Amino acid sequence: MDKAAFWQREGTTWPNHQFSRFVRAGHLRWHVQMAGTGPVLILVHGTGASTHSWRHMLPLLAQRFTVVAADLPGHGFTEPAGGAGCSLEGMSESHSRLLEALQLEPVFCAGHSAGAAILCRMALDGRLAARAIVSINGAFMPFGGGAGVVFAPLARLFSRAPFVSQLIAWGAGDPAAVARVLDSTGSKLDAEGLALYVRLVRERSHVAGALCMMSHWNLAGLEGRLRRLTQPLTLIVGEEDRTVPPAQGRDLLPKLNGGTLIELPGLGHLAHEEQPQKFSELLMQIFR
């Protein structure tokens, strides 16, 4: 799982590569993209994605903010954390160490899916003192029913078998297969977006990182703790999201101590990749 070799193959044509840098924080070598000046805004992607998820938003937001986006451990070009480092608590702790290494104190934060849960866990653990948090199709609740029983154990089994992640990467390298997976989220991506996900899932280390995160992810108790957030939490929900049901945002809103719900019709789980201009404008309105 040589992330340096992966960067050598893909880095020069990766979106916003001119803003990329590599930072040693804790025991990990992180791939980080930074651009702009002004209040610090951190962006945290979801499981299976990378900094490419913000490829259009980052330059737009950099007109007003110092934007910081990193590949999560094991994802993209960041080294894997392994074991407990792939858990919600582990991701929260390692992300806070990254911010310390960068000597940054975020003023604003936005996270997609699992990235929103990471930001909220950081805030609840006293590792993040930002003024506001935005969740884009945030995943705050455990899988219900049979999925909750089966999903994590299967991912844990796969993550322990290196050859499985290699087989998955080879198989998912078929653009038609990747397109079907992305379509199942309720989102319609353009050719560039599809091609970038194909490039990612052809890399065994990225697939292994995503599987490790899935297998160690435990959201039990997070929903109940969100009431203790001192920062206002804005929930942006794509009404066509088939990964995180939109009803979860509606159910969560009354449980927050100061929250806002924005529902966007016609958009799926990867809503910010479908309409980056709209989301950039929304964040600029929220983060005043």
pLDDT tens digit string along 198-209? 999 899 899 889
Q: pLDDT band for position 180 (50/70/90)?
A: confident
Position 33 scores a pLDDT of: 98
CA 192 – CA 194 distance, rounded (Å): 5
Q: What digits encode the pLDDT tens for the residues 26-47?
A: 899 999 999 999 999 999 999 9
Position 147 scores a pLDDT of: 39
Q: Which of 65-74, 124-133, 142-151 has the lowest mean pLDDT?
A: 142-151
Residue indicated by tokens 């909750």: 148
Amino acid 76 reads: G
Residue 110 has pLDDT above 70, yes or no: yes
Position 41 scores a pLDDT of: 98
Q: Strand, coil or helix: what is 28? A: strand
What pTM does this model have?
0.93
Residue 162 has pLDDT above 50, yes or no: yes
Q: pLDDT band for position 148 (50/70/90)?
A: very low
Q: What is the mean pLDDT of the chain?
A: 90
Annotate 18-53 with b (16+ C-beta within 10 A) or e (fewer). Answer: ebbeeeebbebebbbbbbbeebbbbbbbbbbbbbbb
Q: What digits encode the pLDDT tens for the residues 121-136?
A: 999 999 999 999 999 9
Q: Is 175 in contact with 181 (CB distance < 8 Å)?
A: no
Q: CA nearest 13: which of 59, 49, 52? A: 52
Domains and CATH numbers, the chain: 3-144+218-286 (3.40.50.1820)
Position 159 scores a pLDDT of: 46
Q: Strand, coil or helix: what is 40? A: strand
- Kindly state the helix (H) or strand (E) to which residue 176 belongs, with its residue range: helix 175-183
CA 133 – CA 231 distance, rounded (Å): 7
CA 169 – CA 205 distance, rounded (Å): 9
Q: CA nearest 238: which of 194, 171, 280, 186? A: 186
Q: Which has more confidence, 23 or 167?
A: 23
